[in-house]
Amino acid sequence: MSYISAITTPIKNPQLRLLNALRTNSKPIMTFLGLPSFRAAQMVAQTGLDGIIIDCEHGNISDDAMHSSTAAIAAMGVSPLVRLRMTHADLIKRALDAGAHGIVVPQINTAEEAKTVVAYSKFPPQGLRGQGSAFPGISHGVDIPTYLKTANETIITCLQIESKAGVENVDAICAVPGIDMIFIGPNDLALSLLGYVPAKGDEPEFVDAIQKIVAAARRHGKWVARLSNNGAVCKEHLKVFDTVALSYDIRAIQNWYTAELEAARS
């Protein structure tokens, strides 16, 4: 069965900012959104980012907030992605029916788990996704019939590798048809491999694991991404990775107030 994916499709849609930037190797930059606010989503989307990952795994994001944030981000011409809590079909369905341009699925450890994500991310005949929502066409800038014809080939299906088991099975995971991107979660990866966070960055086991993930993604023609803590580190990471997620809205607020209060009280 054919699994034409976002990475190979010839379909052009100017609304899909992140996908278009990835295709042209423009090194797009994303961030994570953890605050459940329509206005916060708008303001972060206005900064010049190419994509925003709405964090339903670790963020304070309910189903309602995910819907609102997806709509707000897409309306600003930025690509909303949703990080799920796990691989359950209902979570995948809700994110895609809200209009997400892609999903990010954490803690993928086996090829079977990757196949499950693909199955529930694709409409038949490639997958098992059901249809019924009137919303996703809006954030994709198309009508529903067009969305149904193009979604399998334009939605970015991204898996996080962030455990020892995931690293051990990364080649088989990357070989799964229909997977478009691999995202490295450095903190959970460090916890799994080293037993502490954050990694210093030069631990041989940690460095080898990242290199193995990148090599597997390249070997199987997948985009590869990771988290970056600040702009300088982001610039270095983009020499290797196709895209990065530049920190987190919550950390950005905390860091600004910490720095400005320090300056005010110095």
Catalytic residues: 58
Which residues lie across from 54 on neighbouring strands?
33, 82
Q: Which two tokens stand for residue 241?
A: 């990775």
Distance CA 126, CA 6 (A): 13
CB 72 within 8 A of CB 98: no
Q: Which two tokens stand for residue 209?
A: 């694991």
Burial string for 42-73 (b: 16+ CB within 10 Å, else e) reads bebbeeebbbbbbbbbebebeeebbbbbbbbb
Q: Which two tokens stand for residue 251?
A: 């950390």
CB 244 within 8 A of CB 226: yes
